[in-house]
Structure 1
Amino acid sequence: MPVPGQGVGRPRNSAIDAAILVAARELLAEVGYSQVTMDATAARAGTSKAAIYRRFTSKAELLFAAGVHGADPQPPADTGSLRGDLLALANRIRTDMSAPAAREVAPHVIAEISQSPELSERLRSVFVATEREEIDAILTRAVDRGELSTMPPVATVHRMLGGALFFTIMVIDEDLDDAELGRVVDVLAAGLSAN
């Protein structure tokens, strides 16, 4: 599975990858989504526009990676319990989605997805796939530990956790404090354990 921002089979250069994402985040903060250009990003990153397009197919994908996902996802935390693992993941998602860059990028990318099946497919094949791999790892550990008797559908768990957090943070703009986040995870973990 490709790492977000990386095409299949393309060599990675972590220094260039990092420079591109830093430049994109800086420009996003300075001028806003609509004014960020690939030319300006390349100039600030000290690379070429072609180098950016080898990693990202569009400005939307670049800014989604820079503002929401990052280019080097870490393995999900192994806390020793299903609830703990889900809570660690939920905390990271909450932090990422609550950042000013994510709040700037998300509405624009959602609007562009509705107009571009290609962008929608690209985000699914790279970013959603990566998120589901993380959830798969968490659920597999829970099955291996005996906390779950069967493997739940990964896509369903992804929709339930990601959807709850996205709706709360991005749509209705409510605070999701630690207690409420814990309650969301408790409901999800209890439902998974009951099956």
Structure 2
Amino acid sequence: MDHKILQATRELIEEAGYPALTVDQVAARAGVGKAAIYRRYASKAEMAFVATVRGQWPPPLTDTGSLQGDLLALVRAFHARMATPAARQVAPALISELAVNLELDKRFQDTFLAAEHTCLADIIERAMVRGELAGPVDPALAHLLLLGSLAAGLYIINLPVDETMITDLAAATTAGLVAMAGRRHSDPEGAAQPR
């Protein structure tokens, strides 16, 4: 049933766009009742986001051998998923709903964002083991620098994000994380204080 709902959602978005999508249409196309949809998704935006963006996210990423390589692989995968025409319609709608629906926001934090933080925690741990980072860095901060910046570029600033920008974003995030880990490692007490 889940597959039918998500497939119907994708098809309807491709045919008429997200604004025209209704839960009634998805239910009819999938051959299920609306109640079955609402048991799974709190809103049209959440259903559309899962159908068009979330899927198998984050993707399984191999160790590239460097912090910058790992961050570049992640941001490329994020861009490929988030820059599609469907995602450009759905993600802003979901962001709007997250601001007013606390239950949906908690579910989004506990699933989609938690998976991204786990992925970044793994990347940070590998970089520490390789000696690229002098100490730990908060995965939420790495997320904000890398994926948050890309999301802002795609959905708020509406930048034409290309491979050069993606590469520069990975390099800038790497430099920032290395500097932050080094500062915290050399001055663990002072690092928490504003300068």
| Among 64, 88, 96, the residue aligned to 1:103 | 88
1:85 aligns with 2:70: yes
Give the RMSD, CA atoms, in angstroms: 2.0
Q: Deviations over 1:39-62 (max 9, x none)?
A: 322332344444434433322211
State the partner residue of 1:55.
40
Q: Deviations over 1:141-176 (max 9, x none)?
A: 212222212110011011111221012111222222
Give the distance between the partners of 1:67 and 1:134, measured in 2 at CA. Answer: 20
Question: Which one has a bigger Cα radius of gyration?
Answer: 2
1:107 partner letter: P
| Among 93, 98, 102, the residue aligned to 1:113 | 98
Distance 1:40 1:71, change over 3 A: farther
Q: Deviations over 1:13-60 (max 9, x none)?
A: xxx433332221111122332432333223323444444344333222
Q: Deviations over 1:104-162 (max 9, x none)?
A: 11222222222222222221121111111111111112122222121100110111112
State the partner residue of 2:170.
185
1:166 aligns with 2:151: yes
- The secondary structure found in structure 2 opposite 1:115 is coil
Give the distance between the partners of 2:117 and 2:27, measured in 1 at CA. Answer: 31
State the partner residue of 1:154.
139
Give the distance between the partners of 1:167 and 1:45, measured in 2 at CA. Answer: 33
State the partner residue of 1:27.
12
Distance 1:78 1:54, change over 3 A: farther
Worse overlay, 109-118 or 37-46: 37-46
- The secondary structure found in structure 1 opposite 2:99 is helix
State the partner residue of 1:68.
53
State the partner residue of 1:41.
26
Q: Judge conservation of contact 2:57–2:112 (CA < 8 Å) in 1.
A: no
> With structure 2 as the length reference, what TM-score do the two structures score?
0.81
Distance 1:154 1:73, change over 3 A: closer
- The secondary structure found in structure 1 opposite 2:76 is helix
Deviation at 1:73, TM superposition (A): 4.0
Q: How many residues align?
A: 180
Unaligned regions of 5+ residues in structure 1, if any?
1-15
Higher relative contact order, chain-length normalized (CA < 8 Å, sep 6+): 1
Q: Judge conservation of contact 1:17–1:71 (CA < 8 Å) in 2.
A: no
